[in-house]
Structure 1
Amino acid sequence: MNTDARAVATQIYRIFDIGDVAALDDVLAPELVDHNPIPGTSSGVEGMRLLVAAVRDAFTATRHEVLHLTEAGEGWIVGHWRMTGIHTGQWLGTPATGRPVSFTGTDLMRVVDGKVVELRHVEELFQLHQQITA
């Protein structure tokens, strides 16, 4: 298991790109606290599984480009990324459009012993919404 916080963050972005919900067990602590879970889901690992599956089911050819990744001390990582892909499945009630998408997000992750124990994230969902509904 890789305990380098930057490598753990990078692995999470890769998991989103391949849609491998089982791989989350390698990088998320069982006691994970997600301060921004999907509405109606839990704050922990199961909520993250649902998020990865939702992205996997709604978009193909996803790619997270890491725009900025830095350690902020005490295990905290700040990551800023851009996700590109094609909207090929339902996303938050919007049926597939076949349109390409590109939007950004920022994550704050605290890594302890090689696993994320705390997470705060903000995605530019308005950017995404405009692309799939315009």
Structure 2
Amino acid sequence: MIDHNPAADGASGIDGRRVLIAAVRDGFTDTQHRILFQQELPGGWVVVHRRMTHTGDAFGFAAKGNPVDITGTDIVRVVAGKITEIYHVEELLKLTQQISTGAQPA
């Protein structure tokens, strides 16, 4: 599995994705994912709107229990039922601002 835009200190492969998923799972609870758009093309498109509550230490920020709203776009290539490549974009600046300042999502 190739992650075409991993975190700055993250690995591109499946191990890097596992670390990222563990960090999100451990740092955020009551996560809701709503799919706003999904179209199956060669590779597929998925746009996900997420609402998460920051309740644990995550990404270097101590837990404050602030609600966090971000959107993200994933473009994946699926071969034989497995994701083999992923391109993704998240609102990381918005996430960082909401976690660090406690600013309420708009």
> Any runs of at least 4 consecutive aligned residues in structure 1 with deviations exceeding 6 A, and if so which?
none
RCO (CA 8 Å, sep 6+): is it higher in 1 or 2? 1
1:20 corresponds to:
none
Q: Once the 2 structures are TM-superposed, how far is the Cα of residue 130 of structure 1 from its aligned partner?
A: 1.7
Give the match's secondary structure for 2:44. strand
Give the match's secondary structure for 1:38. coil
Q: Which runs of 5+ in 1 are unaligned?
A: 1-31
% same residue? 47
More helix by percentage:
1
Q: Once the 2 structures are TM-superposed, how far is the Cα of residue 41 of structure 1 from its aligned partner?
A: 2.1
Q: Which amino acid aligns with 1:81?
A: V
Q: Once the 2 structures are TM-superposed, how far is the Cα of residue 70 of structure 1 from its aligned partner?
A: 0.7
Of 69, 72, 80, 1:105 maps to 72
CA distance in 1, matches of 2:34, 2:77: 20
Q: Once the 2 structures are TM-superposed, how far is the Cα of residue 133 of structure 1 from its aligned partner?
A: 1.7
2:20 corresponds to:
51
TM-score (norm 1): 0.72
Instruction: Give per-residue Cα distances to partners, 1:70-102, cap 9 Å, x unaligned.
Output: 122x3x111111111210112221111111111
Q: Once the 2 structures are TM-superposed, how far is the Cα of residue 38 of structure 1 from its aligned partner?
A: 2.0
Q: Once the 2 structures are TM-superposed, how far is the Cα of residue 117 of structure 1 from its aligned partner?
A: 0.5
The aligned length equals: 101
Give the match's secondary structure for 2:5. coil
